[in-house]
Structure 1
Amino acid sequence: MKANYQFSNLCGTVYRQGNIVFTPDGNCILSPVGNRVSVFDLVKNTSRTFSFENRKNISVIALSPDSNLLISVDEDGRALLINFRRGTVLHHFNFKKPVDDIKFSPDGRYIAVTHDSHTQVWKTPNHLLREFAPFELHREYTGHHDKVLSIEWSGDSKYFITTSRDMTARLYTIDPVEGFRPRTFAGHRDPVIRAFFSADHKTIYTVSDHGAIFTWQGKSDNNADEDDDMSDAGTSSSTLAEPIMADIRWGIAAKHFHNLDHHTRVVTATFHAASNLLILGFSNGVFGLWEMPDFTNVHMLSISQERISSLAINASGEWLAFGASKLGQLLVWEWQSESYVLKQQGHYFDMNTLTYSSDGQYIATGGDDGKVKVWNAKSGFCFVTFSEHTSAVSVVEFAKQGQVLFTASLDGTVRAFDLIRYRNFRTFTSPTPVQFSSLAVDPSGEVVAAGSQDNFEIYMWSVQTGKLIDVFTGHQGPVCSLAFSPTGNQLASGSWDKSVRLWDLYGRSRAVEPFQMSADVLAVAYRPDGKELAASTLDGQITFFNVADGKQTGLIEGRRDISGGRRADDRMTASNNSGSKYFNSLTYTADGANILAGGNSKYVVLYDVADRVMVTKYQISQNLSLEGTEEFLDSRKITEAGNVDLIDRQGDASDLDDRQDPRLPGAQRGDLGKRRYRQEARTKCIRFSPTGRSWAAASTEGLLIYSTDDGITFDPFDLDIELTPQSLLEVLAQREFLKALVMAFRLNEKPLIQRVYESIPPSDARLLARQLPVVYVPAMLRFVADHIEHSPHMEFDLVWVNAVLAAHGRTLRDHSNEYASVFRAMHKGISDFERMIGKLCDDNMFTLQYIIDQSHTKNAGLASGPIGVTDIEMIDEVSSVA
């Protein structure tokens, strides 16, 4: 069992806060998810999350025009400079104040950053050189009297315009120009949120948060009298070097206002200069497209019930991206065809539970919002959402056979969902209304059991008939965990009454001897072979029992391993805090050699079952915006009023419009009380993939997936000094395939194994499979299973699978438990093949049917008229294709 699991992806959270950014080619979109950044590929329909983490939640990101550099800035102004293509951190930098906007210049030479009421322009660091201090300040610009909200560059990278809460916008030059003073665009009565240049740089548009759009153009008469709508009247020297913008005297050419109700505010805006399209996002979830400079409305649509937090448009102007932070929603809309390109949303509240499908391809999650979502583990996208439950979903479980998902909820129902037709085909209820807090499914998929937290009973139903089969009583506390034995004849239940009970489902005697525990039981789990049972208790212990003998075989004391992290209002360090020193979720690995445990802590711990020792510990988050991630007390943050992080330090300067909600029934002014709370870093559920190559955790951050990366880790097997890549290539050149294959497995480097594997003729596969030593058979099957997922050599891989199983099937059958993860990984790859070929055959069948129908229609038309040479040739061609 390897413990080299690394962070792989983050599902379940598609957008949190900050701005969303399109890549220059327009095919991908970058979205901040907490203190990480996710990339959604809109062409390949996949998503990935970078492994780097900011100290706190990300407030703004920026991508360079050549897609080499990415900057992510957190709420405190601490920034990470990242090599975007490799996803590695190049440098840490602190801007020392919160940043509202950051933009690369179009030529990529400068970075403009808001710095409270000032604006700083930095020279772009070189991503190919290792420098001690890569950030070099070019200039700092002043002039605004309040916080700067946005920055927009001109197309030639010589000018930029800033907007501020002081209701003005100011135009600056990147380099000093003789006689030029920064132009001030005044006239708005509300904070100016965005300003944009037209494509020819002869027009500037400014947008205020109450929907006033001003069009600014240069005045042709230099001797005209100045009025109140005109900008600064500084005398501009006529220089040949800067003949356009430096000498223009700007004035208001037109004023436009949107016609929505007065409670609706403009939250975000963007402009596509090539097509003169202005897009506004409003606080009521509506967005609109206007063609400038006439302000002609092109499109209006309501895409959400909450405010649109961020808005972006791709380079071609076809796709619009929207982010709604309150709903955690990310949308990409093609406005010309009026269709969704991407529509993803995470759970509105916390994610409570998760489970893997039997082949490891899908992950189902349930949350406090009552929704059940099914995610594709490979692409990271949610493809179906079930919202039949009316209360929090406590447990989800896949049936071992078939495409069926079972869910238990606090609304008193257990539901079965068909993942082929995407419908709820069974609903199980108890005779009296109860809240179900645990669920287990029989290995055959014919029996489902659920435990209640009200009357402490366990109910068992038949899936085929939907009728209640039996009710088990005996517990004296809420039944918090259920697990069926892999053999299917036993059901284990854990309760808060400090006992674990094993129920014989098909025996006549209902006498149950409970296993008495030292504290409340929180989770139970069977080993894959069904011979051992593990139980987690409130005192931080994991106890192991021999199922056949009913005896305790081992104990793990995990209080010190799981403890970690303190809340902002705690008066004690993490080591003295007993609130998180227990495990509430357990899962065995596919081979049963290790067990993974997680709880209300930032740590997930992997233990070795045989030796009862900790193998490794994973920290799920380093986000200081969450409670429970700091280890020690920081006396600098403690004041007489409490912790500084929990105090609204803006006071009267905070935006009251963000707190008012006039839509509340009977409200005249809205609720001015601003409630500040911080989520706590914790893990509510963890599960290992049946393939053994990854595990997932339902955490505060979302659905975290950790997997092994065999391409990076060098893990040789039985290596000697004469075994080198050069010697392997020499043996391969001599066509000694068996020797080369064994040498490649001993080196255990994936590129070398793949080169040898693909060099073997298909006709030699059966002979080499028989001669392959048994010790390399599991490694061979695991490599083929991985090769199936990423290779187009479909028949070649199937030939090898058939040959290895035919030659070593008896040995593999005798050690089926040990090689269970290998079998499941191979089954997953073959299932992908089957699904792909089935879809291709269906497409071909429809195409051929269409061609045959067209030939029949043509023949029918030719029968009534003279036939020409061209018509005869067409009939022969269509018939031959059909």
Structure 2
Amino acid sequence: MKSDFKFSNLLGTVYRQGNVIFSDDGTQLISPVGNRVSVFDLINNKSFTFEYEHRKSVACVDLNKQGTLLLSIDEDGRAILVNFKARTVLHHFNFREKVRSVSFSPDGQLFALAVGRFIQIWKTPGASEDRQFAPFVRYRVHAGHFQDVLSLTWSHDSRFLLSTSKDLTSKIWSIDKEEKDLASMTFAGHKDYVMGAFFNDSQEKIYTISKDGALYQWEYTKKPSEENDEEDDEDDEDNMDLSKYSWRITNKNYFYARPATVKCCTFHPQTNLLVVGFSNGEFRLYDMPHFTLIQQLSMGQNAVQTVAVNKTGEWLAFGSMKLGQLLVYEWQSESYILKQQGHFDTMRSLCYSPDGSRIVTASDDGKIKVWDVVSGFCLATFDEHQAAVTGVQFAKKGQVLFSSSLDGTVKAWDLIRFRNFRTFTATDRIQFSCLAVDPSGEVVVAGSQDSFDIHIWNVQTGLLLDTLAGHEGPVSCLAFSQENSVLASASWDKTIRIWNVFGRSQDVEPLEVYSDVLSLTIRHDGKEVAVSTLSGQITIFDIQQGKQIGNIDGRKDILAGRHLDDRFTAKNSERGKNFTAIHYSFDGQAILAAGDNNSICLYDVANEVLLKRFIVSKNMALDGTLEFLNSSKMTEAGTLDLIDRDGENSDFEDREDNALPGSRRGGDLSSRRVKQEIRVTSIQFSPTANAFAAGSTEGLLVYTTDDSVVFDPFDLDFDITPDAVNEALGNREYLEALVMAFRLNETYLINKVYETVPIKDISLVTASTPVMYINRLLKFIGSYAMDSQHIEFNLMWIKWTLAAHGKYIMSHKHEFGSSLRAVQKFLARIAKEVVTASKDNYYSYLFLTSTDGAEDGDEQEIEVDQNSSDEQEFKVLENDEDSDADMDEEDDDDGEWVGFEEKINKLPVELKVDEDDDDDDEQLLD
């Protein structure tokens, strides 16, 4: 069992706060997600999250025009400089004050910060000749505003800088001292905060936008007293008297959006496109300078927090903080390029699809979301549940998903048509808190904390088959074995019961546990069951012998921080010193454990030792991440962080408080008076065994192992070299070359040998391949085939490998679990697209083949052959000479072909669109 897992991606959270930006080529969108930064590739449909973490949530980010340096700054002013392309951290720096905006100059030489009421200009770190000892060197500080600066905008030539502030003014600053007199102007006249100021394309006009919806246009013109002076008309441009010119308001426009206010705005100079976002979720597009309304749309009822435009002006990005929404809108075609939203409330449960390509999460907000692991995007959202969803589970084939909820229902979801097709209920209205699905997909069971029984339903009919009675307390956990359909249940009565659902007798002997069971997991082969208890122990039982065979003490391994309201240190606290979620690995050699704390522990089952511990988050804004609290903030009444200071905010909407005291959950009462706690609610290994996912407060964390960079030779000696592999290929010794490539474990060599083997020799090579290399071969095919265009070639390798070594693979399932699921992932993801394309073009094929080769007097016909009374098949009469399909064609007097429409109506049943939902459901379950 490998333990070198590393953070890979963050799903379930697409935007939290701050600003979103486009890369210079306009294909990537950068979004802050808590104390991390995510990047969405809009062209290749992929996303990734940087591995580094801030100490607080990210407040603002910016990327230089060259696309090499990313600067992210958190709420406390701590900045991290990152090499965007290499994804490595270059430097940490502390600006020691809250930063509201950061912006790189277009030439990339400087970057400006809005720090309080000051504007700081810094030199961009680089590898130039004048290297400094300190990466960050301050170039200049501008002071002139009397309140906090809100936004910064550079001119296209990087000579001037526009700033807006809460003091109702905007100012223009010169970067060069020589041009200080040319650009020293205060734009006053607004009656509310100035949210943004922008240059037009020629830099002869400036637009300023205030919070109350006023848009002023400024131009550098003559003073009113000098406009009628005739001498000025004769002056040359070189001798122009600048003392007679000044910036003046030439036009005023208003949005008229009351009571909504402007929350964000941006301007694209090349296309004169102005985009404004309002506090009611509405955004508008205007054509400047004529102030023509182009579009007016809404992304919800919550405020639009940030807006960005890509370089070409075609795509607009919007972010809403309250619901965590992020969308990319193409305004010319009025279509969405990206439309994502995370869970509004805490993730309650998660599960992997059988092929490991998707993750399904359930939340307290009553929604179920399906996430694609590769792209990181949400594929579908189910919101039919009326209360919190407590559990989700896949059927074995991965086409049906089951969910349990506190609304008293268990639902079955069709992941092909993305709809609910079964709803299971009990005789009494009870809340289901746990769920398990039989591997065959025939029955689904659920338990509740309202009763002591386990309910069993038939998936085909939807009827309640039986209730398993025996527990003397509420049922808290359920789990099915994937091999022998053994059901394990745990209850508040401190017992574990093993049920044979398909057996005649349901009398079982309970396994005694000496503490309350918090979580339960059963090994893949159904021989062992492990439970996590309230005392912080992981107890392992042998199911066949009915006795305890192992115990892991997790209390010493858990990193539980001190909460703000704790009156004692974290070392002496009992809070979070247990695991609320555990899961067996596919081979049964390791157990993952997590709980209401800041650690994820990976244990070796045989030796009962900790293999590795992962830190969930370093975000100090969450409660429970710090082991020691700041003593300077401690008072007699408690810590200063617990004091509600919202009434001191300058904005009215920030002073409003609609939250209940002590509210820790989401919902309409969004803001919390206490910090959100760090915790992991669910955890699960991927079926491919190379990754695991954890549903936490920060989102859905995905950890993977990366073997691509590690040189790991296998049974290597001095005679095996890349030259020897190439020599064997030249001599057509394909099996020897393949074995030597696997022993070197060099991907490019394996790829070269794999593609060089002739098709006629694949069966011979696979049949002669030693058994010890079969697992490596299948794993390579599974990963290589995902990006390969040789569909049939890969399928032939898989076919002959399984045909030659199928018996050995079936007898050693635990060794081939990861490689077989990689192959299954290829078959489900790639080959299915080929079949779909073939079905979609079936009628086009009929049309083309029916008209191909039709000459004067030639007749072709499609014959319908009745092979059975229930089903019809098309048989195309083949010509012996050219093997082309001869279709019989009916001609009228004018020579028109009129028989095709009648023959289309004779299509077989399986090729027509089936409108009977019940029949579809039966076929899906079969």
User: For the residues of structure 2 that align with 1:795 and 1:672, how far apart are their CA atoms?
Assistant: 56
Shift of 1:240: 9.7
User: For the residues of structure 1 that align with 2:570 and 2:338, how far apart are their CA atoms?
Assistant: 41
Amino acid corresponding to residue 148 of structure 1 in structure 2: V
Shift of 1:646: 3.7
Amino acid corresponding to residue 754 of structure 1 in structure 2: N
Does 1:705 pair with 2:706? no
Contact 2:560 2:575 in 1 (8 A): no
Q: 1:51 to 1:724 in 2, by over 3 A?
A: farther
> Which of 579, 584, 588 lines up with 1:583 in the alignment?
579
**Helix, strand or coil for the counterpart of 2:439?**
coil
Q: Deviations over 1:483-530 (max 9, x none)?
A: 123345432111122111112323333322111112111111111111
Shift of 1:205: 0.6
Shift of 1:330: 0.7
Q: Deviations over 1:32-74 (max 9, x none)?
A: 1111111112222222222222222111110111211111111
User: For the residues of structure 2 that align with 1:742 and 1:241, how far apart are their CA atoms?
Assistant: 80
Shift of 1:357: 1.3
Q: 1:132 to 1:789 in 2, by over 3 A?
A: farther
Does 1:836 pair with 2:833? yes
User: For the residues of structure 2 that align with 1:258 and 1:66, how far apart are their CA atoms?
Assistant: 36
> Which of 791, 794, 811 lines up with 2:791 in the alignment?
794
User: For the residues of structure 2 that align with 1:607 and 1:241, how far apart are their CA atoms?
Assistant: 79
The aligned counterpart of 1:141 is 142
User: For the residues of structure 2 that align with 1:752 and 1:477, how far apart are their CA atoms?
Assistant: 60
Q: Deviations over 1:137-170 (max 9, x none)?
A: 1111111111110000111111110000111111
The aligned counterpart of 1:11 is 11
What aligned pairs does 1:674-689 form with structure 2 within 5 A after superposition? 675-689=672-686
Q: Deviations over 1:816-853 (max 9, x none)?
A: 23322221221111222321212332454355467689
Shift of 1:794: 2.2
Deviation larger for 787-796 or 679-688 = 787-796
Amino acid corresponding to residue 788 of structure 1 in structure 2: A
The aligned counterpart of 1:401 is 397
User: For the residues of structure 1 that align with 2:241 and 2:600, how far apart are their CA atoms?
Assistant: 61
User: For the residues of structure 1 that align with 2:719 and 2:111, how far apart are their CA atoms?
Assistant: 53
The aligned counterpart of 2:378 is 382
**Helix, strand or coil for the counterpart of 2:295?**
strand
Amino acid corresponding to residue 107 of structure 1 in structure 2: D
User: For the residues of structure 1 that align with 2:315 and 2:219, how far apart are their CA atoms?
Assistant: 29
Does 1:594 pair with 2:596? no
User: For the residues of structure 2 that align with 1:547 and 1:152, how far apart are their CA atoms?
Assistant: 67
**Helix, strand or coil for the counterpart of 2:441?**
coil
Q: Deviations over 1:331-355 (max 9, x none)?
A: 1112222221111111110111011
TM (normalized to structure 1)?
Answer: 0.91
**Helix, strand or coil for the counterpart of 2:687?**
coil
Q: 1:673 to 1:499 in 2, by over 3 A?
A: closer
User: For the residues of structure 1 that align with 2:16 and 2:824, how far apart are their CA atoms?
Assistant: 36
Amino acid corresponding to residue 806 of structure 2 in structure 1: G
Q: 1:834 to 1:203 in 2, by over 3 A?
A: same
Contact 1:520 1:537 in 2 (8 A): yes
Shift of 1:325: 0.8
The aligned counterpart of 2:201 is 199
The aligned counterpart of 1:88 is 88
> Which of 184, 188, 201 lines up with 1:186 in the alignment?
188
What aligned pairs does 1:77-116 form with structure 2 within 5 A after superposition? 77-116=77-116
Q: 1:138 to 1:780 in 2, by over 3 A?
A: same
> Which of 206, 212, 215 lines up with 2:214 in the alignment?
212
The aligned counterpart of 1:608 is 604
The aligned counterpart of 1:770 is 767
Q: 1:337 to 1:246 in 2, by over 3 A?
A: farther
User: For the residues of structure 2 that align with 1:344 and 1:88, how far apart are their CA atoms?
Assistant: 27
Contact 2:78 2:96 in 1 (8 A): yes
Does 1:753 pair with 2:760? no
Q: 1:576 to 1:378 in 2, by over 3 A?
A: same
Contact 1:660 1:672 in 2 (8 A): no
What aligned pairs does 1:248-327 form with structure 2 within 5 A after superposition? 249-261=246-258, 263-327=259-323
The aligned counterpart of 1:231 is none
Contact 2:484 2:525 in 1 (8 A): no
> Which of 504, 507, 512 lines up with 1:508 in the alignment?
504
**Helix, strand or coil for the counterpart of 1:627?**
coil
What aligned pairs does 1:134-533 form with structure 2 within 5 A after superposition? 134-177=135-178, 179-180=181-182, 182-221=184-223, 223-224=225-226, 249-261=246-258, 263-401=259-397, 403-533=399-529
Shift of 1:239: 14
User: For the residues of structure 2 that align with 1:345 and 1:469, how far apart are their CA atoms?
Assistant: 38
Amino acid corresponding to residue 160 of structure 1 in structure 2: L
User: For the residues of structure 2 that align with 1:680 and 1:225, how far apart are their CA atoms?
Assistant: 65
Q: 1:460 to 1:643 in 2, by over 3 A?
A: same
Deviation larger for 601-610 or 835-844 = 835-844
Amino acid corresponding to residue 355 of structure 1 in structure 2: C
User: For the residues of structure 1 that align with 2:301 and 2:205, how far apart are their CA atoms?
Assistant: 34
**Helix, strand or coil for the counterpart of 2:168?**
coil
User: For the residues of structure 1 that align with 2:149 and 2:510, how far apart are their CA atoms?
Assistant: 66
Shift of 1:244: 12
Q: How many residues align?
A: 849
**Helix, strand or coil for the counterpart of 1:607?**
strand
Q: 1:504 to 1:141 in 2, by over 3 A?
A: same
User: For the residues of structure 2 that align with 1:110 and 1:519, how far apart are their CA atoms?
Assistant: 61
Amino acid corresponding to residue 435 of structure 2 in structure 1: L
Q: What RMSD, in angstroms, separates the aligned Cα atoms of the two structures? A: 3.1
Amino acid corresponding to residue 136 of structure 2 in structure 1: F
User: For the residues of structure 1 that align with 2:622 and 2:506, how far apart are their CA atoms?
Assistant: 47
The aligned counterpart of 1:234 is none
Q: Percent identity at matched positions?
A: 49
Q: 1:642 to 1:770 in 2, by over 3 A?
A: same
Shift of 1:181: 5.7
Contact 2:323 2:341 in 1 (8 A): yes
Shift of 1:720: 4.4
Shift of 1:127: 6.4
Contact 1:485 1:491 in 2 (8 A): yes
The aligned counterpart of 1:569 is 565
Does 1:45 pair with 2:42? no
User: For the residues of structure 2 that align with 1:571 and 1:663, how far apart are their CA atoms?
Assistant: 25
User: For the residues of structure 1 that align with 2:852 and 2:103, how far apart are their CA atoms?
Assistant: 59
Deviation larger for 157-166 or 797-806 = 797-806
Contact 1:563 1:575 in 2 (8 A): no
**Helix, strand or coil for the counterpart of 1:253?**
strand
Deviation larger for 443-452 or 577-586 = 577-586
Shift of 1:597: 1.4
User: For the residues of structure 1 that align with 2:695 and 2:439, how far apart are their CA atoms?
Assistant: 24
What aligned pairs does 1:23-38 form with structure 2 within 5 A after superposition? 23-38=23-38
Q: 1:124 to 1:752 in 2, by over 3 A?
A: farther
> Which of 782, 785, 788 lines up with 1:785 in the alignment?
782
TM (normalized to structure 2)?
Answer: 0.86
Q: 1:119 to 1:554 in 2, by over 3 A?
A: same
Shift of 1:20: 0.7
User: For the residues of structure 2 that align with 1:360 and 1:809, how far apart are their CA atoms?
Assistant: 22
Contact 1:545 1:551 in 2 (8 A): yes
Which 5+ residue runs of structure 1 have no aligned equivalent?
A: 227-237, 665-670, 868-882
Deviation larger for 421-430 or 195-204 = 421-430
User: For the residues of structure 2 that align with 1:672 and 1:4, how far apart are their CA atoms?
Assistant: 41
The aligned counterpart of 2:800 is 803
